[in-house]
Structure 1
Amino acid sequence: MLTTTISTVNPTSLISLSSSSSTTTTIQSPHTCIKPAVNRRLLLTALSLSVSIASSTVQVAGARGLFQMPPFRLSNRYYLVRSGESEFETLGIINTNPVAKTSVDSGLSEIGKKQTVKAAFELKSMGACDRGCWIWPSITQRAYQAAEIIASVNGIVRSYIVPEYSFLDARGLGAYEGKKLETVSEVYASDGISPAIKPPPIDDGTPNESVADVFVRVTQLMSILETQYSEDTIVIVSPDSDNLTILQAGLVGLDLRRHQELSFAPGEVRFVDTSSIPTYKQPASAVYKCLNPPNCN
């Protein structure tokens, strides 16, 4: 910030100085404004300095910009992890209401704990946290439990676990809440038509999120991570697959309608490699084309 110091001028001292240097005393009206002398060279220098500072500020702001998908480059290395399955998933029940995300039933099942331990050791074998890493889990019970297991296995202190309160919530499936897990295939059938299609709503507080809705959330998350960190390793831990498939599709520039083809199994670990785009199928329609993946309506 350019700070300008303004010196106050005492009118009394100016009058006394004038009377001592001249034999004629001039009495000014109290309503007359006394203007200090302005050095033209100093004024031009100050103006040029302020212009250069302003232009450099604009350049920095423009360089930062808003994070866009797919990104031109990534400042950090990213590993995507789906937590092990929850108690609800073991029972084969859809549970995406954020009200219950910190409940014990949303925590890891016995099978989920084993899946998560396997994921933690896989990260270790990949050298993900050899030079340290930040772990960003959803505060959903199973995701945060998974983060603690990953930290323990990889020698990461708890202060490097950063809970994410909303951007990594499991995708809200609306009226499918409480139904059998098999019915989620109906949601994915709609996803394949358009990322803007939402599941049917319900009045119990469960969101009904389209692929586009989740895409907004994960883009906001990446904007935070890319702004807050540089040249770091970040492990993102999600309670479900959709957050990660939509995020990965966005990062590598794939059609969001095909995100399900990147599906994560419980406890799966994946390194984000933007230089290699996974193989995926184009929509069956010969009429509908996506000209600007991943943004396809």
Structure 2
Amino acid sequence: MSVQQVAFARGLFQMPPVRLSNRYFLVRAGESEFESLGVINTNPVAKTSVDSGLSERGKKQAVRAAFDLKEMGACESSCWIWPSITQRAYQAAEIIASVNGVTRSNIVPEYSFLDARGLGAYEGKNLEAVSEVYASDTISPRIKPPPIDDGTPNESVSDVFVRVIQLMSILETQYSADTVIIVSPDSDNLTILQAGIVGLDLRRHRELSFAPGEVRFVDTKSVPTYKQPASAVYKCQNPPNCT
């Protein structure tokens, strides 16, 4: 089954793990300046700004990620690094390349498929407010955060899933038996992608959360123990009046 077929067929349900022709490592970029201030920033207009770059802690996390990849032998033969063009992700990619002896020509900036998940009306709020988004995610992958008129997209899990699967389709077409390191500015791109690859219910993507600077090898056999999401457990006793 191709990556495209998986995208259309999976929906809410578990599917067999997809077969990949390449080795993949997923990396969440280190903490950004905005994150260090505890502020949500997902507007793509600001993704190349200095404030979207790595904080001092984020730089250390990116260095740790680079050495983790080296210890894992990610680039022993050769590898391609695909970072989001978002400032912090590209900075992390340059650090990874330097530590692992990867030339700049093997860094391929990605301009849209790896943008941080757009959180709409949560833009500019405290990072703790993201818990409300994740609560909705467990009910349905199609629930979007409230919209806002400043240009920040409001993306559901399904929206993110479509674009990260498009990225994988490109990578699987462009390379064969290669190693690809995907560097994302946020955790959601990676958790949703990993959930899709291993056949995990997309409502559970948060269970795969990445810490800033975390590195993970894509293992198609690593499916966490199943736990029913809230929408599968809840029963309305008196429709349409449910509490």
Structure 2-normalised TM-score?
A: 0.90
Q: 1:188 to 1:128 in 2, by over 3 A?
A: same
Structure 2 counterparts to residues 1-297 of structure 1, below 5 A: 66=4, 68-69=6-7, 72-285=18-231, 287=233
Counterparts in 2 of 1:190 and 1:145: CA distance versus 1, 3 Å: same
Cα deviation 1:116-169 (Å, max 9, x = unaligned) = 000000000000000110000000000000000000000000000000000000
Distance in 1 of aligned mates of 2:59 and 2:225: 31
Structure 2: distance between partners of 1:202 and 1:72: 36
% identity of equivalent residues: 84
In the superposition, relative to structure 1, how do residues 287 and 280 fare at CA in structure 2: closer, same or farther (>3 Å)?
Answer: closer
- 1:284 is displaced (CA, Å) by 4.0
Preserved CA contact (<8 Å) 1:78 1:235: yes
Change (3 A) 1:260 1:65: closer
Q: Distance in 1 between matches of 2:227 and 2:137?
A: 14
Gaps of 5+ in 2: 8-14, 236-243
How far is 1:78 from its partner?
0.2
CA RMSD of aligned residues (A): 1.7
Q: 1:280 to 1:121 in 2, by over 3 A?
A: farther
Which structure 1 segments of 5+ residues have no match? Answer: 1-62, 290-297
Q: Which has the higher contact order (CA 8 A, sep 6+)?
A: 2
Number of matched pairs: 227
Task: Answer yes or no: is the 8 Å Cα contact 1:83–1:142 preserved in 2.
Answer: yes
SS at 2:110 equivalent: coil
Distance 1:184 1:270 in 2: 23
SS of the residue 1:129 aligns to: coil
- Shift in Å at residue 186 of structure 1? 0.2
Tell me the CA shift for residue 96 of structure 1.
0.1
* Whole-angstrom CA distance in 2 between matches of 1:280 and 1:230: 32
Q: Distance in 1 between matches of 2:69 and 2:3?
A: 32
Residue 123 to residue 203, structure 1, CA distance change in 2 (3 Å): same
Q: Distance in 1 between matches of 2:176 and 2:218?
A: 16
Query: Does the Cα contact within 8 Å between 1:67 and 1:219 map onto a contact in 2?
Result: no
Deviations 1:170-223 (A, max 9, x none): 000000000000000000000010000000000000000000000000010000
Structure 1 Cα separation of the partners of residues 232 and 145 of structure 2: 25
State which structure, 1 or 2, has the greater radius of gyration over its C-alpha atoms: 1
Q: 1:118 to 1:217 in 2, by over 3 A?
A: same
Distance 2:121 2:55 in 1: 24
Quote the offset at 1:283 in angstroms.
1.4
- What secondary structure, in the 3-state scheme, does the structure 1 residue paired with 2:152 have? coil
Write the distance in 2 (CA, Å) between the matches of 1:101 and 1:222: 22
Output one character per residue of 1:37-79: Cα deviation in whole Å (capped at 9) or x when no partner.
Answer: xxxxxxxxxxxxxxxxxxxxxxxxxx97835246641000000
Q: Could you tell me the TM-score, scaled by structure 1's length?
A: 0.74
Q: Is the 8 A contact 2:18 2:197 kept in 1?
A: no
Q: Is the 8 A contact 2:138 2:231 kept in 1?
A: no
Relative to structure 1, the CA distance from residue 280 to residue 241 in structure 2 (aligned partners, 3 Å threshold; closer, same or farther) is farther
Residue 6 of structure 2 aligns to a residue whose secondary structure is coil
Letter in 2 for 1:124: K
Amino acid at match of 1:258: R
